[in-house]
Structure 1
Amino acid sequence: MQAHAESTARGGGLPVRFILNTFFSGPQAWFFLAADKGYFAEEGLEVTFAQGNSLARAVTTMTTGDYDAGYGDLNELVRMQAEGRRDTPIAVMAIHNRPPYTIAVDAGGRIKTAADLPGARLVSHPQDAAWLLFPEFCRATGIDPESVDITLSSAPHTEMVPQMLAGQWDGIFGFVNTVAAQAIEAGVDPAVSLHHLAWHTHAPAFYGGAMMVTRAFRDAHPQAVAGLCRAVNRGLADTVADIDAAIEAVARRNPALDRKANRARLVGTLALEMGDAAATQGLGDVEDARLETIARLICEAKGYAHRPSPAEVFDRSFLVPPSERARMPAA
């Protein structure tokens, strides 16, 4: 059975309540490796990790007052600011340089490009970040969102993938590496059976996951926020250096973890979502011009009047110096 929460408490540190994007899994390994190596404790922090329901919902969950920090969707944070929410968290460290979102389709089917989507039957989890960003995907690709039929389902991707390949749907919303890993768990070879209409190809301005804190926590504990960034940066560097140790850190929290699938998920995440500019510049910062483009696409797609500035959603003042940032292996 998976535990709901896991604490790094070692006594005497500042408590930090941290909401993750989903259950304890491979693409979160750096948080757990940082905890196991004592990096949070060295910063005077006692971090308690709670499992979340989605990358997008984690941002909303942080507005409840139950959490101080979290791992959420940077694009959803922009959307909430554009909507007029002033209780949103603030992002302090980008984890994904590229968006992880996709519509996975049958590699042998008729859908090859975004232009083939009209008339398609798609399925999504209710709070899937890819589905929430589908209007923006359509805006970027010139597709009419009303031309696509979308079913919402809470079934796991391990069930959705075989059902989609059997013809129940034409495509599945999700993360590229999550869908691929759960296809493996379902006995499907994703490299052979799946084709991706990925956001990083069709709507490359978007980011993905970022570490966030509440504005109240940032204002009250700026040194703790800087410490979180330092500890997670060290965990990221250690994850790149030893993938197997990182997966073991996850498995200690989730003994039922499918190690093979989650190792593939982690390796794929490091390569796809984190392996672009990070290979030479290091992880953590964002490009203001991209945040401005995201805000424009969201406002155009959803009809918001307020276009948030980069400073409203991202505070880079807590990042470690560029020379110390974790880097991905060069492609």
Structure 2
Amino acid sequence: MSKSLAISALAASLALVVPAFVAPAFADTDVKFALDWKFEGPSAPYFVAIDKGYYKAEGLNVTVDTGPGSVAGIARVAAGTYPLGFFDINSLVKFRDQNPDKAVKAIMMVYDKPPFAIATTTKTGIAKPKDLEGKVLGAPAADGAFAQWKAFVKENAIDDSKVKIENIGFPVREPMLADGKVDAITGFSFSMYFNLLQRNLKPEDIKTMLMADYGLVLYGNAIMVNPDFAKANPKVVEGFVRATIKGVQDTIKDPESAIKSVMKRNETADEKTELARLKMSLRDNFVTPWVKENGLGGVDMARLSKSIDQIGITYEFKAKPKAEDVFTSEFLPPAADRKL
């Protein structure tokens, strides 16, 4: 064989072999992640993890979508529409009771202290939970905070027969309070507060009562995983959690930079408002004394068990789930990597 023919034959063989070998090695795994709500301040950690390449470094191509609320979205994860999502763990407890064949689990706690709250205005005279008696409470039926109403009533000795509950939609919740059509509303603290400011109320006109400050030991929103996806892709789930924790750590260290990642994806939002919303959520929900001591992402299983008992005040269980049925730490990185 001539020298030129030999070179041509070698080149041809390489052309066949190299692409088949190289292409799969650089293919990222696509992961769809569902938020509970809109692209607002508290969603910053996920976008920080995208923009800083933390997911990419784990071999993941993560896309983040908005969600229908902290309760309804759990069904999306159970169905596999989204392998991972960010929703209310208390609603997951009920979901597991109602759907024992759908073993969705929480794998990373984000809101160690839930933002469930009751908001009112100073002109109503409501200063403490007992003052809700004789008043009108506006509450969307699908609201995660309103789902805790009966437990809140019991813990604060409220005569709920003296509280008129009005089922209202999310879009009209704050406008109705601002206009005096209801006396108080339920919702997430960092949503209601800033929505009310946008209705031209002043900070001193708004009173927000976090349910966690009035007897509730509940946790808040957590990252959840579809069981089939977790079984088939444990390393993907571990990588997602590891990268997300880095995003949370960076957001806590520098919220002013983190909010830029949100604004890139929600250009109609007001950056000043979203930064303030983010800082409020970091202060009240993300960074608690327990998290400072134990790191991000985990739970106190004894507290989680107690919270499930507290859910039983509001909800009648068919077969009450155990704490280990709704949360697993198996995908969390070592504690040293989760410190603040």
**1:66 & 1:298 partners in 2: Cα distance?**
27
* 3-state SS of paired residue (2:293): helix
Q: CA deviation at 1:26?
A: 0.6
- Please say if residues 199 and 206 of structure 1, whose CA atoms lie closer than 8 Å, have aligned partners that are also in contact: no
Please point out which of 95, 101, 105 is paired with 1:90: 105
Secondary structure (helix, strand or coil) at the match of 1:129 reads coil
The CA distance in 2 between the partners of 1:160 and 1:21, in whole Å, is 18
Aligned to 2:50: 35
Residue equivalent to 2:33: 18
Contact 2:36 2:68 in 1 (8 A): yes
Residue 108 of structure 1 aligns to a residue in which SS?
helix
Match of 1:238 in 2: 250
Q: 1:7 maps to which residue?
A: none
Q: 1:142 aligned to 2:154?
A: no
Among 193, 197, 205, the residue aligned to 1:180: 193
User: Does the 8 Å contact 2:108/2:329 carry over to 1?
Assistant: yes
Aligned-partner Cα distance in 2 for 1:275–1:55 = 20
State whether structure 2 residue 61 is matched by structure 1 residue 46. yes
Aligned to 2:85: 70
Please give the per-residue CA displacement for 1:235-262, whole angstroms capped at 9, x wherever unaligned: 0111112212211101111111111111
Distance 1:224 1:145, change over 3 A: farther
| Structure 1 unaligned residues grouped into runs of 5+ | 1-10
Match of 1:123 among 132, 138, 147: 138
Q: Give TM-score scaled by structure 2 length.
A: 0.87
Q: CA deviation at 1:88?
A: 4.4
Matched, 1:202 2:217: no
Amino acid at match of 2:335: P
Conserved 8 A contact 1:19-1:67: yes
1:269-308 counterparts in 2 under 5 A?
269-276=281-288, 277-308=290-321
Cα distance between partner residues in 1 of 2:229 and 2:151: 31
Match of 2:232 in 1: 220
RMSD: 1.8
User: Are residues 1:314 and 2:323 paired?
Assistant: no
User: Counterpart of 2:217 in structure 1: which amino acid?
Assistant: A
| Residues 193, 208 of structure 2: 8 Å contact kept | no
Asked if the contact 2:90/2:219 (under 8 Å) is kept, the reply is: yes
Shift of 1:84: 4.6
Question: 1:239 & 1:77 partners in 2: Cα distance?
Answer: 26
Q: Is the 8 A contact 1:60 1:88 kept in 2?
A: no
- Where in structure 2 are there 5+ consecutive unaligned residues? 1-25
Q: How many residues align?
A: 314
Indicate how the Cα distance of structure 1 residues 225 and 145 shifts in structure 2: closer, same or farther if over 3 A, else same.
farther
Which of 255, 261, 271 in structure 2 is aligned with 1:259?
271
Q: Secondary structure at the match of 1:255?
A: coil
Segments ≥4 residues shifted beyond 6 Å: none
User: Over residues 262-318 of structure 1, what are the superposed CA-to-partner deviations in whole Å (9 max), with x where a residue is unaligned?
Assistant: 111100000001221222322111111121112112223222142211110001011
Percent identity between the two aligned chains: 30
Is the contact between residue 80 and residue 88 of structure 1 (CA under 8 Å) also seen in structure 2? no
- Structure with greater Cα Rg: 2
How far does residue 50 in structure 1 lie from its aligned partner after superposition? 1.3
Residue identity in the other structure for 1:211:
I
